[in-house]
Amino acid sequence: MSSDGGVTQGADEPTSFALRPPRPVTPAEQQGVPHPGNPYADPARSAPRTQAGPPPPAQSAQPQPQPGPRSGPPQPHPHAQSEPHAQSAHAQSAHAESAHQPSQHPPRSGTAHPRPPRPPESAPPRSPQGSPAQDPGTGRLVAGRYRLLAKLGHGGMGTVWRAEDETVDREVAVKEPRLPDHLPERERANAFERMRREARAAARLDHPAVVNVHDVAVVDGRPWIVMELVRGRSLGAALEEGTLGAREAARIGLEVLGALEAAHAAGILHRDVKPDNVLLGPHGRVVLTDFGIARIEGETSLTDTGGFVGSPEYIAPERVLGQRPGPSCDLWSLGVVLYAATEGVSPFRRSNTPATLQSVLNSTPAAPASAKGPLAEAINGLLDKDPSRRLRADRVRRLLTEAAEPPARTPTETARTPTETVRVPEDGGTGGATRTGGTGRGGVRVPRAALFGLGAAVVAAAVAAYLVIANPFAGPLPDGWGKHHEKDITATLAVPAGYQRSTPDRTSDKGHWVTYTDWSGGIWIGLGVSRASEDASHQIKDSSAAQMYADNGDFKQSGAYALDMPEGPRTVPRETTYRGGRSAENTVVYMTNDSQDPRPRELRMFYYKSSAGDMYKLTVSYPGKGDFTARGREVARAAIANLDIDKR
C-alpha cells in the first residue's frame, strides 16, 4: 500500500505520534537559555473509552440478569476501547481561547457508539500560592516578537500556543514543532517540511473558512507557524455532546466545501478533512484548519515507502488503494464528516486501522436516518466509492444550500386564524390553566373567536381534551415511535424508530430481558421480568414499592457496577399506580465512576408486580447533562406511559 506522505505505520499502530514527557533540564541548561530544547509538550493521554451499548441495569435481588448487555453480541462488555487516531494540534480547538481535551471521532459502526457529553472540565491546577499553574514555556519570546501566553493543545507534530505578537500588539496562535526524540533524522526532516507546506498551503488561500497564516518563524531550523487565533472549539468537540440538526450540518458543510473549493482551485488537496480539523468560531464562522499533510500541485511527494498519513475512517477508497488523489478525495471526507455529524456514528470506523481501511473499501454504510431529503442525497452521493461517480462540488453546493435554508411557509400557515393557547402544567393541571396570546408552545390551539363566543364550559371541555391528549397514558404514541411485543417478557414496549434491539445470548443467559439503544449510544431502554415460577430463592419482593426501595438501598450503599454507578447517588423514589394497581418509580442521578472519563448519567426506573407474582422492571438511561438530557427524559416518560404488560 502506498500513500501520499508520512511516516510508516504498523498494522495496529495509532495514526499519530504520542508525545513523550519532557526530559529533565539540567542546571547548566537553565543557566544557558531559559528553555533549552523546549521540552514542555505534555505527555500523550490515552484515548478515553467509548460507550459500547447499554450495560444491564443494576442487579436487584432478582434471580436473573437485568436488561441490557454490556455490549452487542457475541461478547457483552461494558466498553470498547477507542483506537487513538491522528490528533493534530489544530484539531483540538487549537485556536480556541480555552483549551479543550482532544476529542474523539464518532465511533465505529456496529456495537460501538459515540461517547455521551463530557462532564465539565476540572479546575486548572494551582500553585501553593493559589494562582493557576502555568505551562512550562509560558512567557518565552519566539523570534523576538511572539510571546507565548498559554498552551491551547498539542498533537503528534506540535503544540499550539496562544501568543501575543508584540510587534503589532495582537493575539495569535503559534504552532510549535514538536516531535518524538526517537524519530530518525529523515523522518524529522519530512515532518518539518510538512509543517512548512502547511504554512505555504494556507497562505496561498484567501477564504474566510481557511485560517490565515501570518508568519513562519524559523528557530534552530524548526518552523514555528504563526496563525490567526480563532476563538471557538472544534466540530469534533461539539459532536461529543450530540449530533447536529440537518440545517446546521448543511450550513457547516457549505463552509467547509467553500474552503475546499478555494484550496482545489489553488492546486491544493487537504487530505485530512475530519471533525477535529473544523473549528466553530464566533458569529457562526466555520474554519477548516490543519493543511499539514496537504498536497500542493507541482511539489515533491514526501511519501516514505509504505507510509500513510491521515485519519483512516475519513480517507477515500482510492487513497487506500494507493491511486493518485484528486479533489474528489476531499469531497469523500466531507461526506463522512456530514454522516457522522447527523447520524452520531462514523460509518467506517472499526477497532483498528487495517479493519477501518478494509471497511472503507468494502463496507456500505446504513442509509442516513436523521438526514433527509437533499442532505441525505448529498451524503449518499459523496460516499460513492467510485470517484468518477462521486458528486462534484457544484452539485453538492446546491444540495447543501437547499438543506440549509429554512422551509418555506405554506399559504395555510401564513393565513392561519389568530388563536389563543390554553396551557396546562405537566403536573396534571394542579397549578391551573393559563391563557396566553399567540401560538405558544405545548398548548391547545383554540380560535380566538371560539373562546369569546363559547362559555366557560366549552373552554373547560377544551382543557379536559388537552389533558387527555397530553397524558401519555391515554394518548397516542409520539411521532416516529413504534410498539414491539416481546413474547419472552410478555409485554409490549414502545420505543422510538431506529433504536437497535438486543436480547440475551441463550447459550449463556437464561434471563428475560430486551434493550433498545439509539444509534448514538446515549439513550437506552431496557425491560426485564423476574418470573415467580423461577424464583426458587425468594428474591422477588412482596410489592413493587418494596422492590424499588430494596434496589434504592443497594444503590445508596454500594452503587451498581454494571451501570458504572458509585455508591450514594441522588435518588427520587416514589410510589405510583399502573392500571389501577400499585407500581413504583425511581429517578437516579449520578456521575459514573470511570476514573479516566466520568460522565453524568440519569436513570428512570419503573417497577410493577403482576397478579401472577412476576416483577417487571423498565429502565431508561440517558446523559445527566447536555443536549440529550431533555430528550432522554422525554423518552423515559413515553416508554413508561405506553408500557403494556400482558394479562396472565
The predicted-structure confidence for 199-234, as pLDDT tens digits, reads as follows 777 777 888 898 888 888 888 878 888 988 988 889
What are the pLDDT digits (tens) for 510-529?
899 999 999 888 999 999 99
Mean of the pLDDT values across residues 409-422? 46
Q: What percent of the chain has pLDDT over 70?
A: 64
Query: Is residue 509 in some structural domain?
Result: yes
In a domain, 446, yes or no: no
Among 286, 301, 220, 226, which Cα is nearest to 256's?
286
Rounded to an integer, what is the distance from CA 145 to the centroid of its chain?
A: 39
Q: Of 185, 212, 228, which residue sits at a domain end?
A: 228
The mean pLDDT of 299-318, rounded to a whole number, is 64
pLDDT band at 58, cuts 50/70/90? very low
| Top-ranked range on mean pLDDT: pick from 7-16, 45-54, 147-156, 164-173 | 164-173
218 and 262 in a common domain: no
Instruction: Give pTM, 2 decimals.
Output: 0.46
Q: Which residue has the higher pLDDT, 509 or 81?
A: 509
Whether residue 252 lies inside any domain: the answer is: yes
In a domain, 559, yes or no: yes
Instruction: Return the DSSP state at 536.
Output: T
Regarding whether 396 and 338 lie in a shared domain, the answer is yes
The burial of 131, by beta-carbon neighbours within 10 Å (0-12 exposed, 13-18 middle, 19 or more buried), is given as exposed
Residue where one domain finishes, among candidates 228, 254, 287:
228
Domain boundary among the residues 341, 374, 404 is at 404
Higher pLDDT, 439 or 175: 175
Residue 33 lies in a domain: no
User: 10 vs 645, which has greater pLDDT?
Assistant: 645
Q: Is residue 111 over pLDDT 70?
A: no
Q: What is the structure's pLDDT at 75?
A: 37
Does residue 336 register a pLDDT over 90?
Answer: yes
Q: Greater confidence, 596 or 413? A: 596
- The C-alpha atoms of residue 615 and residue 63 are separated, in whole angstroms, by 11
**CB-based contact 282:233 (threshold 8 Å):** no
User: Per-residue pLDDT for 625 more than 50?
Assistant: yes
Regarding predicted confidence, which is higher, 394 or 301? 394
- Could you please report the per-residue DSSP string of 174-204? EEEE---TTS-HHHHHHHHHHHHHHHHHHHT
Q: If pLDDT is split at 50, 70 and 90, which confidence band does 457 have?
A: very low
Q: Are residues 206 and 321 in the same domain?
A: no
Distance CA 100, CA 89 (A): 11
Please check whether residues 194 and 240 belong to one and the same domain: no
Integer Cα distance of 466 and 111 in angstroms: 41
Please give the C-alpha separations between residue 393 and each of 87, 169, 249, 299, in angstroms, as whole numbers: 27, 40, 16, 24
Residues 378, 485 within the same domain = no
Q: Would you say residue 551 lies in a domain? A: yes
CA neighbor of 608 nearest in space, from 575, 562, 571, 573: 575
Length of the chain in terms of residues written: 648
Q: Are residues 237 and 200 in the same domain?
A: no
Q: Which three cell numbers stand for residue 449?
A: 373567536
Is the same domain home to 201 and 256?
Answer: no
Residue type present at position 68: G
CATH number, residue 168: 3.30.200.20
* 192 and 312 assigned to the same domain: no
Taking the C-alpha atoms of residue 170 and residue 232, their distance in angstroms, rounded to an integer, is 17
Domain range holding 354? Answer: 233-404
- For 466-507, how does the pLDDT look when each residue is reduced to its tens digit (9 = 90+)? 434 433 344 467 888 999 999 999 999 999 999 999 998 877
| Rounded Cα gap, residues 193 and 237, in angstroms | 29
At 259-293, the pLDDT tens digits run 999 989 888 888 889 999 999 988 889 999 877 55
Q: What is the overall mean pLDDT for the chain?
A: 73
Least confident stretch, 104-108, 132-136, 637-641: 104-108
Confidence band (pLDDT; 50, 70, 90) for 402? Answer: very high
The predicted structure's pLDDT at residue 584: 95
Q: Identify the bridge partners of residue 234 per DSSP, sorted by sequence position.
A: 279
Say yes or no to pLDDT of 377 above 90: yes
Distance, C-alpha 646 to centroid of its chain: 38
Split into its structural domains, the chain has a count of 3
Quickly tell me which residue has 478494509 as its cell.
Answer: 358
Band (pLDDT 50/70/90 cuts) for residue 309 is low
Residues 251 and 281 occupy one common structural domain: yes
* Catalytic residue (choose from 4, 135, 272, 597): 272
The pLDDT tens digits of the residues spanning 517-560 come to 998 889 999 999 999 999 888 899 999 999 999 999 999 999 99
Tell whether 463 is covered by a domain: no
Convert the pLDDT of each residue in 364-374 to its tens digit.
988 898 999 99
Same domain, 179 and 305: no
Residue 250 has pLDDT above 50, yes or no: yes
What does the pLDDT look like over 16-49, one tens digit per residue? 333 334 444 444 444 444 433 333 333 433 334 3
Q: What is the CA radius of gyration of the chain?
A: 28
pLDDT tens digits, residue range 85-97? 334 444 444 454 4
Give tens-digit pLDDT for 133-167.
Answer: 667 789 999 999 999 999 987 765 678 899 999 99
> What would the mean pLDDT of 176-205 be, rounded to a whole number?
75
Q: Same domain, yes or no, for 392 and 520?
A: no
Residue 59 belongs to some domain of the structure:
no
In this prediction, residue 114 carries a pLDDT of: 40
Q: Is 175 annotated as a binding residue?
A: yes
The CATH number of the domain where 581 resides is what?
3.40.1000.10
**Which CATH number is 334's domain given?**
1.10.510.10
Q: Is 241 helix (H, G, I), strand (E, B) or coil?
A: coil
DSSP string, 341-379: HHHSSBSS--SSHHHHHHHHHH--PPPPSS--HHHHHHH
Q: Is 378 exposed, middle or buried (0-12, 13-18, 19+ CB in 10 A)?
A: buried
The answer to whether the CB of 187 falls within 8 A of the CB of 177 is no
pLDDT at 205: 82
| Pair 203, 338 in one domain | no
Residue 276 designated active-site: no
